[in-house]
Amino acid sequence: MTPTVQRVVGALVLLAAGMLSLPLAATFLDDPGSENWIIVAQLLVMAAIGAGVAVALPDLARAGSSTGRRALTGVWWGLLAAAVGVLVFWLLLNGFRGA
């Protein structure tokens, strides 16, 4: 796979996971007493997904990076995708004028 294709596939996977991770976390954790863990669970899962994607697709990080460096870069990409997912989720629920 070429570097461009790896970057596009990685970005699409992370964006899709970022948009689906918040509602999925809320599905399992929306009970009294555990509702405060929804965002924490989403961020942890997205960090793990980002690390996995960056290790599987090495061109998401700098050329010649070690596996640990690629995983750490993937964590940051995953957290960014989680933030974008929360923003998209917010806009879909509330529109541009807010709640």
- Beta carbons of 82 and 32 less than 8 angstroms apart: no
**Taking the C-alpha atoms of 5, 41, 35 and 12 in order, what is their torsion angle to the nearest 10 degrees?**
0
Q: How does pLDDT run across 13-31, given as a tens digit for each residue?
A: 999 999 999 889 889 888 8
| pLDDT above 90 for 78 | yes
Average pLDDT over residues 43-67: 92
pTM of the model: 0.86
CA distance 9 to 34: 34
